[in-house]
């Protein structure tokens, strides 16, 4: 319920647009181009390393469900206008802003690792926030789209992942 409400907050609350940054800090640049893939690779590699076939099937299902849900919402919310703003408008002027695919996929990977293998995997949480911050610095998403995307990834994990025994 919490993540569903968080999704609604991302969609409804008119967060201010962040102005394009003149220069992207190195940490965000490295995250955008390289580090954001680490949780996703780990979420597939760990079930293989543990010979956890059920976990491997679950991460495949969760990844597919997250991708479908994200893109369906992007298309469905693209032309919706709330409080005088079009949800699909990105800060850089392009479309299909809501929800963020980068946020949903990093949340999917992080959520899977935590739900399946334990709280120790929360150490990837700063990387998830760095990924979302990079999307702001690159002027690719609004804050609401990032929050909504994160929620979509976590909701898919909650419905499709079980604990590892």
Query: Which token pair is 73?
Result: 């919402």
Query: Which token pair is 91?
Result: 């800060």
Pairwise CA distance, residues 31 & 123, whole Å = 15
Pairwise CA distance, residues 93 & 59, whole Å = 33
22 by Cβ neighbours in 10 Å (0-12 / 13-18 / 19+) ranks as exposed
pLDDT of residue 93: 78
Pairwise CA distance, residues 70 & 60, whole Å = 15
**Residue pLDDT, tens place only, 103-126:** 999 999 999 999 999 999 999 999
**Residue pLDDT, tens place only, 29-49:** 999 999 999 999 999 999 999
Tell me which of 14 and 48 has the higher pLDDT: 48
Pairwise CA distance, residues 145 & 74, whole Å = 10
Residue with tokens 């980068």: 102
**Residue pLDDT, tens place only, 146-164:** 999 999 999 999 999 999 9
Q: Which residues contact 41 (CB under 8 A, 6 or more apart)?
A: none
Instruction: Tell me the whole-structure pTM to 2 decimals.
Output: 0.90
Query: Which token pair is 102?
Result: 């980068």
Tell me which of 3 and 100 has the higher pLDDT: 100
Report residue 59's pLDDT band, with 50, 70 and 90 as the boundaries. Answer: very high
* Pairing state between β 81-82 and 85-86: antiparallel
pLDDT of residue 97: 83
**Residue pLDDT, tens place only, 60-71:** 999 999 999 999
pLDDT of residue 66: 97
């Amino acid at each position: 319920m919490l993540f569903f409400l968080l999704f609604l907050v991302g969609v409804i609350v008119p967060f201010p647009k962040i102005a394009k940054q003149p220069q992207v800090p190195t940490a965000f640049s490295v995250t955008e181009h390289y580090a954001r893939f680490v949780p996703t690779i780990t979420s597939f590699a760990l079930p293989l390393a543990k010979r956890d076939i059920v976990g491997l099937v679950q991460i495949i299902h969760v990844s597919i469900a997250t991708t479908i849900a994200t893109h369906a919402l992007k298309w469905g919310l693209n032309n919706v206008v709330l409080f005088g703003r079009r949800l699909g408008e990105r800060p850089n002027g392009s479309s299909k802003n809501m929800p963020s695919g980068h946020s949903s996929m990093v949340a999917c990977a992080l959520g899977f690792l935590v739900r399946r293998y334990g709280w120790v995997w929360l150490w990837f949480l700063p990387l998830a926030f760095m990924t979302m911050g990079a999307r702001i610095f690159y002027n690719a998403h609004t804050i609401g789209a990032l929050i909504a995307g994160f929620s979509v990834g976590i909701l898919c994990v909650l419905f499709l992942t079980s604990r590892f025994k």
